[in-house]
Amino acid sequence: MFRRPRGQRVLVTVPVAVAVVAYLVLLPSGEVASVPGSPCRADGPARTDPLLAPDLDGDGFGELVYEDSQDPDDFQVVVVPGSARGPVSGRASVLNRDDLGVPDSVQTIDNTWRPTVADLDGDGHLDLVVSGDARVVWGGPDGPRAGGPRGRVPLPGRPYHTVPVAGDVDGDGHIDLVAYRFSAKNPALVVLKGPFKRSGAPADTAETPTPVNEAAFPALLLGDADGDRAADLAVYDSPYDPPLLLTGGADTPSGLSAEPERLPAGESVAFGDFDGDGRRDIAVGRSFVDPYDDEETPYRRGQLRVAYGKEPGTWVTMEGGAPQEGFGTRLGAGDFDGDGCDDLAVQLTRKKEAADARFAVLHGGSEHGLASEPWRTVRRTVAEPSGPVDEGPVDGSLFAAADWDGDGRAELALSGGGHWWFTDGTDRDKASFPKRGRGATP
């Protein structure tokens, strides 16, 4: 599992982070598309809107892009090219602190995160936004590169510990950035409007007061939750507040709704089309595991709550795993079998500060949406983690769900113990290799 220092919340804004978990790239149009001959026809064509990994060099295959700041003196972003076989580790390129223009004063975190990848200036090439300092490496025909043009998005006030997330918040056809200012005196959501100049300057900037507790360090996830092609913002993973949804395209300076919608309690959020009807659905996971393992997990199973686009506001509840097994810790949506319906990988974690993780993959379907029983279970483990201290086995944790080999089906990317795994949603690996960085070799 990724480590989170006590007293500080460290977040994937995909991820994870995307949450993720659509790899932080939202196009201004076509993000939600109906599937010809669907819903979920096994003999029909592959879906037309796979969760593609970002194709930085335009070769038709998405790249694995991650920020590796395990060593504060060796901050770097690694770009692993995609191929028909998935990411190819031997062709990876590394952008270091100087290449990225990230000053030594910028805080780094002992974790592996995703930079934001999006076309900020509208030139048709994907750009790279890294670190809480929002440094930009501009894209080109060969992708962002060392020695290429750079910029910096001017974030008002400070501090910002995580990279901004990208999407067309106001629905004007230009990609915007959204960041959260972690300030005891003036916390806020900050929306920087596109298109961006090559200096990194936005067309406009708007702030909205924090919708969560001032002591919170929430994660951000952008996705079109209501089908209007404007990106909506999920704010979640705060121990003080329920997840919130702020709809985009609103008649406000920021483009986000003034009043957020409360989502069911939980620590993970994902958007996907789980029933194949061309409308986005929302999933919220709740593991009941304490963020720092300070309190014993109650003797109950974790939960998944799903609201389908055809019935917004109506939540279906599913439970998974065994009691105290942490079902719902992280979510990753993707069409792993290519049938036109998104499936959902649900991470189970008994201890969040320990390297303990496995995945139940729930199958999407046209009749009922997500199945309540796992379609597949996945686990990947490194026997001896890298580093000076042997802490025992490390399980792979959810990094993203995306299509890295261009086959129209998503893969599940797991990261842990200095290693990567890319599985097709079953126990079959499509690619696996050690990470670059401290304690790992390419």
Question: What does the pLDDT read at residue 387?
Answer: 54
Q: Which residues of 283-320 are buried (b: 16+ CB within 10 A; e: fewer)?
A: bbbbbbbeeeeeeebeeebbbbbbbbbeebeeebebeb
Question: What does the pLDDT read at residue 230?
Answer: 92
Question: What does the pLDDT read at residue 72?
Answer: 58
Question: What does the pLDDT read at residue 102?
Answer: 84
Question: What does the pLDDT read at residue 70?
Answer: 61
* CB 229 within 8 Å of CB 31: yes
Length of the chain: 442
Q: How far apart are CA 148 and CA 167, in angstroms?
A: 24
Q: How far apart are CA 264 and CA 279, in angstroms?
A: 20
Question: Any alpha helices (H) in 24-96, and if so which ranges?
Answer: none
For tokens 């975190």, name the residue.
Answer: 109
Question: What does the pLDDT read at residue 214?
Answer: 84
Q: How many angstroms separate the most distant Cα atoms in the chain?
A: 57
Terminal CA-to-CA distance of the chain, rounded, Å?
A: 21
Q: Which two three-digit tokens encode residue 389?
A: 């201290």
pTM recorded for the entire structure: 0.87
pLDDT tens, residue order, the chain (442 aa): 333 333 333 223 333 333 333 333 333 223 334 455 556 655 444 444 456 789 999 898 999 999 876 665 667 899 999 999 889 999 999 998 888 888 877 765 544 578 999 999 999 999 999 988 899 999 999 889 888 899 999 999 988 888 999 999 999 999 999 999 988 889 999 999 999 999 999 999 999 999 998 888 899 999 888 878 899 999 999 888 999 999 999 999 999 999 999 999 999 999 999 998 888 899 999 999 998 888 899 999 999 999 999 898 899 999 999 999 999 999 999 999 888 889 999 999 998 877 789 999 999 988 789 988 888 888 898 876 555 555 667 898 999 999 999 888 899 999 988 899 999 877 788 888 988 643 333 3
Question: What does the pLDDT read at residue 393?
Answer: 78
Domains and CATH numbers, the chain: 263-441 (2.130.10.130)
